């Protein structure tokens, strides 16, 4: 009997001190940063142990999909906001409760997590794009750097003048030859700013790509390509840093890159130009979302980790670590002294007022691939925009129908 009591006591002691174990996968946090964040988390939640893995943008999406299919998904995972609809549609992640919807409704980018009337996952880190321009090239081209282009026609005039400065100088930089940047950096925001949409309908099940708004944006983009460097995003950014590109739409992460790698570069930022008649300075609303997967066995503990990471003081660690690559979604982060010390980042907060999310459809990963093809055909191959708009309208509708018929 005494041995039995000792054994039971030992089991009780083990159970009393057993930790809840979570698995967390993230793109934005690396191992070094995680150690700093995790040390603080353990002080507040010593009963929760977290196994951390950093994902690569090259194959992270596929790894997440594969883990869900194999019933080995992490408890908490970071998703790009354009993926939320797909994982929500597949029933792979939890929706927010009604109380959480109220709690997080004022967070920047909250609208990017919506799917069929519910919000899935917690918007965590946000970013958008603005227009970078080379002050020295503006002056050489006879342009006023204190009054950068505000409309499409003004961009075309400025790009043409800068492009004429030399054979190795380009008026603008238009990404091509890769998956995301051709549509994110400006083309799709140009469509939005012109009042256009890619997907419409109450359930986001109809393609509206074949429209005058999309066609006008395509024709403008094709005109701009006559004065542009067209290659991969990294190559354009290098050329801009070397003073060979006059204007480029890019994210806030470039501030740190240019200031460090090209300290002599004389540049500034402006809102993304809008159409000449009406419209607005639209930009892409990028964001990182923390999602609790349906496969977790520790739902409440996973939410505790998510809430901890959402806090403005914790999220600001990521902002500071990467010198402003992303910003916290928590609006209280604006009070952090870092923003007063780095005023150039404030233009992105002004631009964020005009940032829009992609349509909340699980067909989006396929649709964005079609839009990339479309952009490259109009700017590189110089194909007829009118014919292409009709062709890709059919392809987008087919992608939507495939999802609807699952």
pLDDT tens for 115-149 read 988 999 999 999 889 999 999 999 999 999 999 99
pLDDT at 57 over 80: yes
Question: What's the rounded Cα separation, in Å, for the pair 220 and 96?
Answer: 40
Task: From 187, 248, 172, select the one nearest 220 (Cα to Cα).
Answer: 187
- Output the pLDDT for position 12: 46
Q: For residues 275, 277, 281 and 286, what is the CA-based torsion angle, rounded to 10 degrees? A: -60
Please provide the size of the chain in residues.
406
Domains of the chain, by residue range, sit at 22-127+286-350, 130-284+359-404
pLDDT at 47 over 80: yes
pLDDT tens for 263-293 read 999 999 999 999 999 899 999 988 999 999 9
- Which CATH superfamily groups domain 22-127+286-350? Periplasmic binding protein-like II (3.40.190.10)
Q: Give the domain 130-284+359-404 fold.
A: D-Maltodextrin-Binding Protein; domain 2 (3.40.190)
Q: How confident is the model at residue 7 (pLDDT cuts 50, 70, 90)?
A: low
Angle CA 77–82–196, to nearest 5: 165
Question: What's the rounded Cα separation, in Å, for the pair 101 and 97?
Answer: 6
Strands 76-80 and 245-251: unpaired
Question: What's the rounded Cα separation, in Å, for the pair 82 and 188?
Answer: 13
Question: In this structure, what token pair is assigned to residue 371?
Answer: 């839009």
Q: What is residue 167's DSSP assignment?
A: T
pLDDT tens for 306-362 read 999 999 999 999 999 988 888 899 989 888 999 888 888 888 878 877 888 888 888
Question: In this structure, what token pair is assigned to residue 403?
Answer: 């999802």
Rounded to an integer, the average pLDDT of 164-176 is: 97
Task: From 52, 58, 56, 51, select the one nearest 20 (Cα to Cα).
Answer: 51
In percent, the amount of the chain with pLDDT more than 70 equals 96
Q: Is the pTM of this model over 0.75?
A: yes
């Amino acid at each position: 009997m005494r041995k039995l009591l000792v054994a039971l006591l030992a089991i009780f002691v083990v159970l009393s001190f057993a930790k809840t174990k979570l698995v967390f996968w993230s793109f934005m946090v690396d191992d070094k940063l995680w150690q700093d964040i995790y040390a603080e988390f353990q002080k507040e939640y010593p009963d929760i142990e977290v196994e951390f893995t950093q994902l690569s943008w090259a194959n992270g999406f596929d790894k997440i999909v594969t883990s869900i299919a194999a019933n080995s998904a992490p408890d908490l995972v970071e998703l790009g906001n354009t993926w939320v609809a797909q994982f929500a549609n597949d029933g792979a992640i939890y929706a927010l409760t009604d109380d959480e919807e109220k709690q997080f409704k004022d967070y920047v980018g909250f609208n990017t997590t919506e799917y069929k009337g519910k919000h899935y996952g917690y918007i965590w880190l946000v970013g958008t794009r603005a227009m970078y321009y080379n002050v020295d090239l503006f002056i050489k081209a006879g342009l006023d750097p204190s009054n950068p282009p505000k409309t499409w026609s003004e961009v075309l005039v400025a790009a043409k003048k800068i492009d004429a400065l030399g054979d190795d100088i380009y008026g603008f930089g238009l990404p091509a030859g890769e998956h995301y940047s051709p549509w994110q950096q400006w083309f799709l925001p140009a469509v939005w700013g012109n009042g256009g949409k890619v997907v419409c309908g109450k359930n986001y099940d109809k393609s509206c790509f074949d429209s005058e708004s999309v066609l006008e944006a395509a024709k403008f983009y094709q005109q701009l390509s006559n004065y542009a460097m067209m290659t991969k995003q990294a190559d354009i950014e290098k050329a801009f840093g070397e003073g060979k590109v006059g204007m480029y739409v890019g994210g806030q992460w470039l501030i740190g890159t240019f200031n460090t790698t090209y300290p002599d570069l004389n540049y500034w930022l402006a809102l993304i130009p809008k159409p000449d008649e009406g419209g607005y300075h639209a930009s892409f609303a990028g964001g990182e979302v923390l999602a609790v997967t349906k496969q977790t066995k520790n739902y409440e503990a996973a939410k505790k980790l998510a809430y901890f990471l959402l806090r403005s003081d914790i999220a600001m660690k990521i902002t500071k670590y990467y010198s402003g690559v992303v910003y916290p979604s928590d609006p209280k982060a604006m009070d952090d002294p870092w923003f007063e010390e780095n005023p150039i980042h404030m233009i992105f907060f002004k631009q964020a007022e005009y940032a829009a999310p992609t349509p909340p459809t699980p067909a989006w990963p396929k649709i964005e691939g079609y839009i990339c093809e479309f952009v490259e055909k109009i700017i590189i191959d110089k194909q007829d925009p009118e014919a292409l708009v009709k062709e890709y309208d059919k392809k987008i509708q087919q992608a939507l129908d495939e999802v609807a018929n699952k």
